[in-house]
Chain A
Amino acid sequence: MSDPFVLGGISLTSRLFIGTGKYSRNTLIPEVVASSGSEVITVALRRVDPQSQENIMNYIPSQMTLLPNTSGARTAEEAVRIARLARAGGLGNWVKIEVISDQKYLLPDNSETIRATEILAAEGFVVLPYMSPDLSAALRMKAAGAAAIMPLGAPIGSNRGLKTKELLRILISEVDLPIIVDAGIGRPSEAAEAMEMGASAVLLNTAIATARDPLLMAEAFREAVSSGRKAYLAGLGPVEEAAVHSSPLTGFLN
């Protein structure tokens, strides 16, 4: 069954996006790419050091679509500046906007993110804003020109799963853009659940990077994302609150 996911003009077969930030060694990155089947990888520009042999970019397989992120930015201006540096540095024109002004919980600042989305979308970037799941903010990001919306499932690095499930459901049904669940997913079953709900993709870093066996975990997520997607496409049977009688009580009316 062909079910491509087209984003920013690129047709992707994998709906699992991965990160680069927390691995015990950079050499794990190409291995995780292979096991996860992922085609999109996010990299923090702040970690990129072209002068160093250990430059993280040297470990990213060339077929990957790069999603540079603006992590470290605390204002829209900083995010814009980082995005421009990334593009000038040859990292392509996709950008995940991450504006975090709260260092205690690392929750994204939606209003600064909307501002950065406006500026960068107007400059021709494929903008993917990372956000706290809030409908009106998501709609503004869409109006500002976002290519997809990346709401969090739970705070970064928490591995807590889909704590924001009800809000994600609303975004999925109300925002006419791909919804990519980012942050918080700790288990493959949670990734599958996000996909079953109709998310277009998920982005993971901590869950794979901090697993005892990151490669096996990458494979587990690959399968989970793919089964969740299949279940969504197959159309899950409706969940009924009360038992449904096989002979309806009002059947005599027919």
Chain B
Amino acid sequence: MSFYETVLRLEQLPYETLWKQYAAEDVKRALRKERLDEHDLQALLSPAAASCLEEMAQRAQQLTRSHFGHVMQLFTPMYLADFCVNHCTYCSFSSIYDFPRKKLGPEELRQEASVIAASGFRHLLVLTGESRKESPTAYVKDCVKILREYFSSVSIEVNPLSIEEYRDLMEAGVDGLTLYQEVYQQETYRKLHIKGPKRVYRNRLDAPERGCQAGFRSVNIGALLGMYDWRQEAFFTAMHARYLQDKYPECEIGLSAPRFRPYLGEFNPDSEVTDRALVQIILAYRLFLPRAGITLSTREPASLRDHLVHLGITKMSAGVSTEVGGHTQTGGTPQFEISDSRNVQEITDMLTANSLQPVFKDWDILTGDPA
């Protein structure tokens, strides 16, 4: 059994009529429930919920504060390499673009790591483009071994791997996995992933589960919002998270709600996700999965991020560069344009002003300790 079987079942639902079935009463009923089911989730994502956003927000905030307190975990991404064999229509690293590609060597990596660590970060997310040739598991592993000297926790966002490869990385000290399905609707998935191994939907879909099986402490999933009808994509994402949470209770399942951002190419997705829609999605995630971490990236503009910190978000990135070596070098190509370019100090000031405590360290890697 894999989540794919659930995908096949959910694909059969008549979404056109389904969203219209719900009324505000269904949303209010869901708000009073302890454990929400699939239908409650649909109600929360339905057009009817738009009139209940404030009540949803109140409850989401209450749940977040009691489970997570008045704290916000901060982390930053580090791009190790931008080589990629795929062509995804929404990304600058796509193999069709011609720009000087690079990957960090050990010295550059150390420089980058020490600059990031000096700004306070103890949790790092390392990213690569998808190229088994240029940034293979062995390369990521070597990088992680070095990074462990600087950080308390290192997570990865790389091409989908096998259970054995994930275990291998865990032994090197990786403790979290981030892997976005990007698009759950299969037909659209194929349309947007034009070339390369990423075209194999199922390999990607099952990868977070392989991460759970390998024993990562946390697994973070998400849909890239804007690629297909957001209600349906958010619905599939939350169902995927619930599936993993139920099946792997020892793993901390987290969600992200990234919206499409401008990049090197011309493609513009047809499904608009307004700020209101984004809020509805985040609230639905929180209500449906009260204990899941929810990450908000710098894809969102500063003013919106400032408001969202009260609506269920538990992790934020800060001081972000989406180019390889972007913390110490210039001239790289960003994977996409970020929107909130505030530095770490500005983000911590904003959080403090919002009565939230910025937390830079929330875990120490215990596996693969070289000591």
Contact = CB atoms under 8 A, between A and B. Distances in A.
Interface of A: 21-26, 45-49, 52, 54, 72, 74, 78, 81-82, 85, 101-106, 157-159, 205-206, 209-210
- Centre residue among B70, B245, B355 by max chain A CB count within 10 A: B70
A47 B66 CA distance: 18
A49 B361 contact: yes
Contact of A26 (B65, B355, B357, B366): B357
B71 interface: yes
Given A52-B120, A103-B252, A78 B66 contact: no
A25 B352 contact: yes
B175 to A, nearest CB: 10
Contacts of A52: 120, 122, 360-361
21 contacts: A21-B71, A22-B68, A23-B70, A24-B355, A24-B356, A25-B352, A45-B364, A46-B364, A49-B152, A52-B360, A74-B217, A82-B364, A82-B366, A85-B364, A102-B249, A103-B251, A104-B246, A104-B249, A157-B66, A206-B66, A210-B70
B363 interface: yes
A201 B142 CA distance: 49
Interface of B: 65-71, 120, 122, 152, 217, 245-246, 249-253, 291, 352, 355-364, 366
B66 A158 contact: yes
Contacts of B363: 46, 72
Nearest to B250: A101
- By secondary structure, the B interface counts as loop
A47 B251 contact: no
A247 to B, nearest CB: 50
Ranked nearest first, the 4 interchain pairs of A and B with the lowest CB-CB distance are A22-B69, A24-B70, A49-B361, A24-B355
Contacts of A206: 66, 69
B69 A102 contact: no
Contacts of B66: 157-159, 206, 210
Contacts of B122: 49, 52
